[in-house]
A and B are shown apart, each in its own frame.
Chain A
Amino acid sequence: MRREGRLSGTALIVASVLASLLLVGAYLAAGGSSYEPKQVQDPCDPRPWSDPQTLGQIANQFTISALDGAACKLGVSRETLARALATPEARERFTERYDIDDEKLARAVRAGLLRAVDDAEEAGALSPLLALPLRRALEEIPLEQAIEIINDAQGFLSDAEGFLGPASDLLEQLLPGPGLFR
């Protein structure tokens, strides 16, 4: 028995093609193919500072610069190093995986901190008067302390300011421009 047809085969095919194109077109127009995972930047590339205004913002960029510098030295991404420095267990997993001893890690973290001071000074966020003693202090700093500074850059920068004592207030008044910290 033949069924009673009311639609031609061609009409059905055309409708199917149109429905499919409409759906795919709408999804593409809405950004369906635009996803790109956030790219991980090469830590050795310069990462310009974005005009920090407060000590908190300076500390934030200081940390990023320090991580970049240390990661560049170790040949890993900034993201990998950040995860490694968060806890002692994570650090142990990291050093085992990348076959890095504590001395090598210490050298890299110190290099990272020095790069952070350079970047801060270059960005005008840190006075050369404070940059000089900071560099000196960071050059021989033990690993645990160096990691602590990356974790708590704000505390470190506040302490550094306090370290100059009453001289810091005098310097702030005498210095034209940004002062010890902008």
Chain B
Amino acid sequence: MGTSARPRVAALALAVGVVLADSSIVVLALPEIYRQLDTSVAGVTWVLISFNLVMALAAVPAALVARRVGPGRAASVGLAVFAGAGLACGLADQLSTLIAARCVQAVGGALAVTAALELLPATVGSERRAATVWAAAGATGAALGPAVGGLLTELVSWQSIFLVQVPVALAAAVPILAVAKHEAATGVIEPELRETGRPHLWANLALAMVSASIAAALFLLVLLLIEGWRLSPIEAALVVSVMPLAAILSGKLADLVPDSRARAAAGAILVSGGLAGLAFLPKATIALTIPPQILVGIGLALVLSALTETALGGRAPQAIHGGWTISSRHAGVVIGLLILTPIFTSDINQQRHDAIDAGTAVILDSPVSPLLKLDLAEKVSQQLESERGKVPTIEPAFEPKPSDPVERAEVEQLQGELQDQLDRGATHAFSTSFLLAALLGLIALFPIALARRVDL
């Protein structure tokens, strides 16, 4: 690769990363959006679902448009639309406006991402290398999304997530504009038509299943950390950054194994194993989320790149087949969210109901005086009912502490027991959803087994 090509490769990778990060970047901001826009849990989930759904539907048509108008122009226009819609998202003061802007953002993003795949081979020198760069940029963006979103939400606001994307997308568009100008000058509209092969059914199906599983991993873990364990978005962002870090650090592992099918299978197994680990957390402790996250991160790096390479391998035009992979991935995210959202919403509500009764039972069975325990039972249940479904800290219900040292010790012990009961209850509420997500990852093994082996 020549030195002149490097800025363009970086710009294309940045464009792919930014757009694909958008499928998960709002995850950590959802609780804040939920509160500020005064909406419902189901409503706020559509901020995430709408983007992924439109990406799934628009990816292949966008690829066709990119080939018709020229990938340089398509990528530039796509990034401009993505940036403009991002600005609208950042300024939205109603949920409907935000969701509409997210849909437009997805259309622009689909155009930019599929066009980038058409531009990359000429820039990096080979289609295979282009597919690797494209897949890696996408996987990194998707994995980093929640952490970046959480940091911005905590440090600035949820709106800043979208506003920051505007200059980034425009900066990515600058080196691509030269290609667009060249296309305009030379009139290159449709490159050689050498269509080879239909979309890779099994690889794309596996991508959908695995993406559903990974999206669930990110979404559920973030919800568990913020809503269940009461972490701030910035703390949750730091915790979930283990996943992308593991993915980035294990990127070289793919180079050691030439068999793409084996890499895909191993990745799907690791993602499922990590999710099963999250389903069986023995304690509500951040440290215990790290080993499962490492497994999911390594699995994510292996499986997404392997399946994308398999789906694109030996096929042309790349943009169209890349469009199919984007479509599969985002359809998978939508399916995962649609399957799991009602399940964990119901589990969390049930858990809250159980927690109120279990908390009262713990208080009533404690040795503290009846006068104090009935007062505590009421205050704790009020605390649990508050904060719109969030599992709160029960500390305020125990203030002020009794002045008598014996009674004070009893109350403090009771508080500890109760908080432990509530934390474990909140953690347990996510178990079924994590297990279902793990199952989705394992189901991906069937299409992976049926996919043709591609050696790198």
Contacts and interface: CB of A to CB of B under 8 A. Distances in A.
A9 B262 contact: yes
Q: Give chain A's interface secondary structure class.
A: helix
The range of chain B's interface size is 35 or more
Contacts of B299: 16
B163 interface: no
A152 B362 contact: no
Interface string B350-372: 01001111101111110101110
A7 B257 contact: yes
A154 B357 contact: no
B281 interface: yes
Interface in A80-98: 80, 82-83, 85-87, 90
Given A10-B262, A86-B374, A5 B369 contact: no
Interface stretch (B23-31, B37-45, B88-96, B264-272): B264-272
Given A35-B425, A35-B428, A86 B377 contact: yes
A121 B232 CA distance: 53
Interface string A1-17: 11111111110110111
Contacts of A132: none
B258 interface: yes
A80 B291 CA distance: 40
A64 interface: yes
B266 A40 contact: no
A97 B354 CA distance: 18
A165 interface: no
B277 interface: yes
A38 B421 contact: yes
Q: Give chain B's interface secondary structure class.
A: helix
Given A32-B281, A35-B428, A8 B269 contact: no
A39 B280 CA distance: 21
Contacts of A90: 378
B402 to A, nearest CB: 13
A147 to B, nearest CB: 10
A67 interface: yes
Interface of A: 1-10, 12-13, 15-17, 19-21, 23-24, 27-28, 30-35, 37-41, 56-57, 59-60, 62-64, 67, 77-80, 82-83, 85-87, 90, 150-154
26 contacts: A1-B128, A2-B455, A3-B456, A5-B255, A7-B256, A8-B257, A9-B263, A9-B265, A10-B262, A13-B265, A13-B266, A16-B269, A17-B273, A19-B270, A24-B273, A30-B282, A32-B279, A37-B358, A37-B428, A60-B370, A78-B361, A79-B360, A86-B374, A86-B375, A151-B374, A152-B370
